[in-house]
Amino acid sequence: MNKYVLLLLISGIWGSQFFFIALVIENVGVITLSAIKACIGGICLLFFGLFLSKEERKVPRGYFKWYIIIAFFEVVLPFVFIAQGQKSVPSSIAAVLIGMVPIFTILFLLAFFKRKSTRPQITSILFGFAGIVFLSWPTQGIQDLSNSIQGNILMILAAMSFGLSLIFMEKLNEGSSVIHMRNVLLIASVLLIPMSLLFEQSFKLDIARSQSIYLAILGIFHAGVVYALFNRLIRQEGALFTSYSNYIVPVIGVILGFFFLHEALSIHQLIGMGIIMMSLVFLDEKMIIKLKRK
């Protein structure tokens, strides 16, 4: 599959998660929601794994330590942070703050992993960040920032956790993406389910039938399917390229927030979304060379 098609597909799936979270978060505890997503996602990939060959289902030696680390930084921490943070942050702004993942990814790569980056990559990140600021500022002025500062901090911490886990996922460069992410999600479930029972008494969960459907969608698509695609793109293009999905996620979040949650959409947001999409041009150095020639 073309890398840009895969990038847009991942972004589209993840961008819609904030819409579905907003529909269930009032009736489902933060940890419980995270546990349900991880559990359903893991079961979904467990089912998909049944159709793989015996060779594809093998787990390379030494991978289980990475499964545990990734489960913690990619699922447990950010799932809880996002669900808790969105209680005080609009879905569109939540998507914007999570869109900072590429910034943290390249900072971690440069500071802790001694990875070099190209000028187009840095340009794209700065350009995309400018788009994020432009996109978020009109709907979140000084007053709103002070009112939901805890929620904003939680979203930023989730973005940092995602950025770190992206780099760790590069370690899973052998075997099946379905099997890798199945194991990650099931390990995360083992951690989250006892926490939800202990702190939120999730066995007393009382939700409407429609909310059950939304939870199933969150688990199947926003945990199971998308993580298999995510790991595949990381193996194909690396952590930094894959992190750019988070620049497209805010665009999806704002659009869905406008159409379905009746959140405001201003000219500044439209310009911001345009800047973010333009930042993707710098991802492809071949495209830049062609533009220079013209």
Q: Output the tens digit of pLDDT for each of the chain's 294 residues.
A: 688 889 889 988 887 887 788 788 888 888 888 899 999 999 999 999 999 988 888 888 889 999 999 999 988 898 788 778 877 777 667 766 777 888 888 888 888 877 777 777 788 888 887 887 777 664 545 455 555 678 888 988 999 999 999 999 989 988 899 999 999 999 999 999 998 998 888 878 888 889 999 999 999 999 999 999 999 999 888 888 888 887 787 787 778 778 876 777 778 788 888 888 778 777 665 544 444 445
Residue 142 contacts residue 188 (beta carbons within 8 Å)? no
Residue 15 contacts residue 256 (beta carbons within 8 Å)? yes
102 closest CA partner among 293, 269, 238: 238
User: Rounded to whole angstroms, how far apart are CA atoms 141 and 13?
Assistant: 28
User: Rounded to whole angstroms, how far apart are CA atoms 145 and 149?
Assistant: 6
Residues in the chain: 294
Return the pLDDT at 186: 96
128 closest CA partner among 238, 248, 8, 241: 248
With b for 16 or more beta-carbon neighbours within 10 A and e for fewer, the 253-287 pattern comes to bbbbbeeeeebebeeebeebbebbeebbebbbeee
The pTM of this model reads: 0.81
Return the pLDDT at 70: 95
Return the pLDDT at 95: 64
